[in-house]
Amino acid sequence: MKILMFVVYFALGIAQIAAYLQGIYLWLGIGNVLGIIIFFVTAGLPFGAVIDAFIGFYGAYKGWQWEWWQAGLLTFPFAIVGLFIGSVGGIVDWFGARGQRVKM
């Protein structure tokens, strides 16, 4: 089962990157090599997964002529999970910092 999940996760990631490259090409006219570099730079930003997901959505919707719901199902699962993990991490850090205050 773990191998199947890995294969599905990997294939979804490759499809999302391909949709992103199509979207960045349509939007800015940038080729694949520079598109990959921009992808990894934006992925490191706080909301980079969301930025990449919207560009991938645009690529799948306009470039591949998919329906909007198909493009959304392809591109937004990682963005939603990334936002959830980032939000939970921020809340945990905030509550953790409250308990570490020095009282005088």
Q: Per the domain annotation, does 85 fall within a domain?
A: yes
Domain membership of residue 67 (yes or no) is: yes
Amino acid letter at 79? A
Residue 104 in any domain: the answer is no
Whether 103 maps to a domain, the answer reads no
Is 93 part of any domain?
yes
Domain tally, the chain? 1
> pLDDT of 72-92, one tens digit each?
989 887 667 766 776 776 777
3-state secondary structure 8-36: HHHHHHHHHHHHHHHHHHHHHCCCHHHHH
Question: Structure pTM?
Answer: 0.71
DSSP 8-state class, residue 62: I
What pLDDT is stored for residue 87 in this prediction? 73
Q: Residue 79 is part of which domain span? A: 2-98
Residue 63 lies in a domain: yes
